[in-house]
Structure 1
C-alpha cells in the first residue's frame, strides 16, 4: 500500500469523525485566543497599573485574567472529555474492523504468522493510529493559529524585535526536518524488531513442553537476550533523540530570550518601548518558536502513525476467501435437500498448496445421502486436504466439488459451513464451560443435552465437576480423552446431517470408542458421515472405504473386500493396528 493510500485511509478516519474533530479544534482555537490575549492583559497591568500606580487598572485586568483562565479550563475539560471519547471510538472501530476481518481471511494467510505476533501487531498498530485523537496531535494542529497570532502580536509591539525572532525560525525548521527523518527510520526499525520478538515469543511458548523435555532453556535464553538487546538498544536511541530535541529547544529559546532581553533593555533605555512591551514580546516569541517544536511533535506522531497504518491496512488487505472478495450475486442459499439429505461429489479435483507439488491429482468420488465413507491412506496421501477443500478453507486448482449437484463455491459460505459438523484432532475448545463448548451459543433442551453427554460417555464426568467449571484454553484442563469426547458431543449437538470425523476416536478409551461406533450404527445411521481413520473397528462399519496413495485414488470398496484385494489398504491396516496396539500398551 502506497503512502498516498495510507494518507487517504487516515483522512477517512478523520472524516468519519469529522464533527468531533471540528468541535475539538474550535475549542482549541478559543483556548489559543485566550492564551494570546493574556500577555496583552499582562502588559496593561505592568505599564498602566504597576508603573503608573493605578490600582483600579490592576484590579480590573486581574479580574479579566481570572475570568479568562477559568473559562479556558472549563473549555479544556469539555474538550478533553470529547477527545477521550473520540480516541476510544477510533480504537474500538479499528479493533472491530480487524476482528470482523478474521472471519473473511483465508486460513493459509493467517497460518503465515503466529497468533501472538498478529495480536501484538494489531494492538501496537491500533494504539499508534488512535494517536490521531491524542492531545498532542490536536495541539500541534492549533499551533498554526498560535504562530500566526504570535507573529501579529510581535509586529504590533516592535517590528525590529520581530525580525530577530523570524531569523530563528529557519534554524528550528531545519532541526525539525533532520530529527524527524532520523526518528522515522528508528520507529520503523523498532516496529520490525517488536514484531519479530512477538513471533519468537509465541513460538517459544507453544513449544515450552519440548523446551523443558530437551533442556533447551539456556539456548532460548540466549535468543531472548539477543532479541531484547536489540529492542532496548532502539529504545535508548529513541530516548536519546528525544533528549537531543528537548535540549536543542531549550538552548535555542534561551539564546533568543537572552538576545531579546539585551536588545529590549536598550530600546527601553532609549524610550522606544515600554517595560511591559518587552515582557509581552518575549511571551509572544515563545508562541512563534515553541509551536515549531509542536509541529515537530506532529511530525514525530505521523512518523509513528504512518508505518502502523500501513501494516494495519495491509492486514485488512490480506487475501480473503473467495465469496468475500467477489460480488456474490450468483451465491445460493443452502436448500432443504442439501441440509437434510446431503450428497457430496468430487469431480476430477486437483490441488496444490504451493503450486509446485500436486497433493491431489484428479480425484473423483461420490458420497450419497446417509452413506458412511472412510478416507484411508498414509500421511501425505491427501486425506486432510480433501477435508480442507470440502470445508472451503482452500479451493481446487481444477475440477469441482458439489453438494446435491451444486458447486459448493456458489453457496453462501457461512450457511454452507454451519451445516457441517467436523471433529479433528486439532479442533479447538474455548476457555468456557463444557456445556458452552458443546452447544456453541445454541439453546438445547436439557434432556437432549444430557443424552448427548451419555452418548459420548461424558455424563459422569460432567456431574462430578463444579458448576461453571471452565476447560481452559483449548481444553488444557481436560485429559486428551475428555477433550475428544467434548468435541464429539459438539458434533452431535449441532444436529447436522453431514458429519466429518478426522481421527475423532484417536485419544479416547476403548469403552468410549465402542460407544461411538455404536452411535454410528444406530442414532447416526441416517447421517452422511465422512471418516478418516486407521482403525478396523470403525472401518468395518463403513459403506465404503476410499484408499488414497500419492494424491490419487488407489481403490474403493468395503473393508472386507479391500483387506483381501488391495495391498495398499492391507499394509496400511496392518501398520495402523500395530501402532494402535503400542499406543494402548502405553496408555493402559
Structure 2
C-alpha cells in the first residue's frame, strides 16, 4: 500500500503501548458487561431475595466500582502513552521527508500543502486513525461480548436485536466512500487556504503600500467560502451517517422492549433478563452508533495518509546511488550554450557560455529580468531541464549528488531567514563547531561588536525582528564561513541595506579569499564593483560582456550606461 511507510511510523516501537491500550479497553469492556449482571442480580433480589443477599450485593458492587475506576484510569494513561508516541513519530516521519526533499521540487511546490499536511491532516489522522483504531476495536469487542451474553440469556431476543442492527451498517457502507472523498477535498482546500494566508502575510507591506485591502478582503472571502463549503459538505455526509445510526438505535430499543415484554408475558423470560437485555442494549446500540462514523472517518484518514505519502514521493530525492560525489571544488564551473525557460516558448537564459574559476570573485549585473538570479539558481541545481551543459570540474551538474552539491555551495540571499533563537544558534545552524572556528567566522562577518555588546545568547526574534538588515546579512555571511563551502553565491544580498552597510557586506564577502564568490547585485557603485576580479553584464537572458570594472567602463557600452544611471 502507498501509505505503508507512514502507517509504520505510527506503530514503530509502539506496539507494546498499543497492546496495553487494547488490553485496558478489553478490561473496561468486561467491566461494562458486568454492569448488566449487576442490574439483573438487583432485579432478582428485589423480586425474590433477602436483606442479607442485598447487603452482600451492595458490598460487591462497591468493590466493583473501585476496580472500574482503577481500570478507567489505567486505560486513560495507556491510550495517552500510545497516542503521544504515535503522533510524534508520524509528524517526524512527515517532516523528515519534507526536509530531505530535493531543492528543485520544494522550490516548485506550494508551501501551503505542507503546512496543511503537518497541521490539519495530522490532527485528522490522530483523531480518526490513531485514536480511532483503538475506539473501533473497543466498540467491536464490546458489541461482540454483549451479543454473546445476550445469546446466553435469550437466543430469540438476541436474533431480533441483530436483525434490527443491520440497518446502520448498510447506511455506513453507502456513505463511507463519500465521507472519505469529502475529507480529501477539505485537505486540498485547506492547503490552498493556508498558502493564500501565507502569501498575504508575506506581502502585507505591498498590500498596505498599494492600499489593496478591499481587493484582498474580497479574495479572502472567496477562499474562505471555498474551504468552508467543503467542510459543510463533509458535515452533511457525517450528519447523514449519524442520523441513520441514531434512527437504528431507536429501532433496536423498541424491538428489545416490545419482544422482551412479550416473552415475559408468555413466561419465556424473567424481568431480570429483560432488564439485563436493556442494559446490554447500550453495548450494542452505542457501538452501532459509533462504528458507522468511526469506520467512515478511519477510511477518510487512510486517504489522508495515502495523500501525504504521494506528496512526499513527489520530488523526493531519488537516491544518490547513480550520482557522482563531488567532494571538493578545484578548477571551475563551466556553462556551455545553456538555455533555460520556465515555459518552453519563453527562454529566461539564452545561450549562456561562461566560466567561474576557483578562488575568484564575480559580480553579475544587468537590468531587472535579465536572468541574473536564474543563473545562480542553475548553479544551485534548482532546475535540471536545461539545454546545454553546466559542469563543475568537468562533472555535469545533473549527475552530481544533491548532498555533495550543497556541501560545495552556500548562498546569501536578499531576505535572510533568521530563526527565533539566539545569534549563536543562527550562525551555527544548530551544529557543533570548534569555538575558534566560530570566532573566526564571526570576526570575518563583522559580527564581533554585536556579539560583544548583546551576547551570543541574544534572541533574534521571529524572522530576526530584533536585528537590523545589515546584522541579518552578517549572520548569513558567518553561516557561509562555517559551512566550509568552496563556492559562495550572493543574490541581491545588499538590496535592502543603506550604502554604508551594503559596502561593508560586500567587503566582507570579498575578503573570503578561499571561496569562489559569485554576487548578483543591483549596486553599481564604483568602489564596490572595482574590487571584483570579473564583472558579468547580462541583458535579456544573455551575457553581453565580461571584464573588470575599468575594461567594461572604458568600452562605453551597456555597463557604462548602467553605472552612469546609478550614479
The question of whether the paired residues in 2 share the 8 Å contact of 1:376 and 1:547 is answered with yes
- 1:476 corresponds to which residue? 465
- 1:328 corresponds to which residue? 321
Q: Distance in 2 between matches of 1:427 and 1:365?
A: 28
- Pick which of 72-81 and 485-494 moved more: 485-494
Alignment partner of 1:19 is 2:16 = yes
Q: Distance in 2 between matches of 1:513 and 1:475?
A: 18
Q: Distance in 2 between matches of 1:136 and 1:62?
A: 36
Matched position secondary structure for 2:279: helix
- Pick which of 297-306 and 68-77 moved more: 68-77
The question of whether the paired residues in 1 share the 8 Å contact of 2:554 and 2:560 is answered with no
The question of whether the paired residues in 2 share the 8 Å contact of 1:38 and 1:65 is answered with no
Residue pairs, 1:340-359, within 5 angstroms:
341=330, 343-359=332-348
1:538/1:314 Cα in 2 relative to 1: closer, same or farther (>3 Å)? same
- 1:371 corresponds to which residue? 360
The question of whether the paired residues in 2 share the 8 Å contact of 1:83 and 1:134 is answered with no
Find the partner of 2:416 among 427, 432, 440. Answer: 427
- Pick which of 491-500 and 387-396 moved more: 491-500
Tell me how far 1:388 sits from its aligned partner: 1.6
The question of whether the paired residues in 1 share the 8 Å contact of 2:177 and 2:296 is answered with no
Q: Distance in 1 between matches of 2:148 and 2:503?
A: 90
Tell me how far 1:319 sits from its aligned partner: 0.5
- 1:261 corresponds to which residue? 257
- 1:530 corresponds to which residue? 518
* Structure 1 residues 280-331: Cα deviation after superposition (integer angstroms, max 9, x where no partner): 12223333333222221322321430332133212211203xxx31342654
Alignment partner of 1:502 is 2:498 = no
The question of whether the paired residues in 2 share the 8 Å contact of 1:378 and 1:572 is answered with no
- 1:304 corresponds to which residue? 300
- Pick which of 85-94 and 451-460 moved more: 451-460
- 1:142 corresponds to which residue? 138
Q: Distance in 2 between matches of 1:276 and 1:252?
A: 25
Q: Distance in 2 between matches of 1:271 and 1:451?
A: 96
Find the partner of 2:192 among 183, 186, 196. Answer: 196
Alignment partner of 1:438 is 2:435 = no
Matched position secondary structure for 1:353: coil
Matched position secondary structure for 2:48: coil
CA RMSD of aligned residues (A): 3.6
1:473/1:165 Cα in 2 relative to 1: closer, same or farther (>3 Å)? same
Matched position secondary structure for 2:348: strand
The question of whether the paired residues in 1 share the 8 Å contact of 2:22 and 2:134 is answered with yes
* Structure 1 residues 379-437: Cα deviation after superposition (integer angstroms, max 9, x where no partner): 33332222222222333534443333444555553344234342232332223344443
The question of whether the paired residues in 2 share the 8 Å contact of 1:502 and 1:531 is answered with yes
Tell me how far 1:276 sits from its aligned partner: 0.3
The question of whether the paired residues in 1 share the 8 Å contact of 2:337 and 2:388 is answered with yes
Find the partner of 1:554 among 526, 544, 547. Answer: 544
Q: Distance in 1 between matches of 2:417 and 2:9?
A: 37
1:41/1:484 Cα in 2 relative to 1: closer, same or farther (>3 Å)? closer
Residue pairs, 1:120-269, within 5 angstroms:
120-131=116-127, 134-232=130-228, 235=231, 246=242, 249-269=245-265
Matched position secondary structure for 2:283: helix
TM-score, with structure 2 as normaliser: 0.85
The question of whether the paired residues in 2 share the 8 Å contact of 1:475 and 1:483 is answered with yes
Tell me how far 1:446 sits from its aligned partner: 7.3
The question of whether the paired residues in 1 share the 8 Å contact of 2:180 and 2:301 is answered with no
Q: Distance in 1 between matches of 2:246 and 2:499?
A: 78
Q: Distance in 1 between matches of 2:54 and 2:122?
A: 51
Q: Which runs of 5 or more residues in structure 2 are unaligned? A: none
Q: Distance in 2 between matches of 1:519 and 1:88?
A: 47
Tell me how far 1:90 sits from its aligned partner: 1.8
Q: Distance in 2 between matches of 1:286 and 1:492?
A: 69
Tell me how far 1:208 sits from its aligned partner: 1.5
Find the partner of 1:283 among 279, 283, 298. Answer: 279
- 1:42 corresponds to which residue? 39
TM-score, with structure 1 as normaliser: 0.83
Q: Distance in 2 between matches of 1:518 and 1:234?
A: 54
Q: Distance in 2 between matches of 1:34 and 1:257?
A: 22
- 1:487 corresponds to which residue? 476
Q: Distance in 2 between matches of 1:377 and 1:343?
A: 23
Matched position secondary structure for 1:51: helix
Find the partner of 1:542 among 529, 532, 555. Answer: 532
Q: Distance in 2 between matches of 1:136 and 1:499?
A: 51
Q: Distance in 2 between matches of 1:460 and 1:15?
A: 49
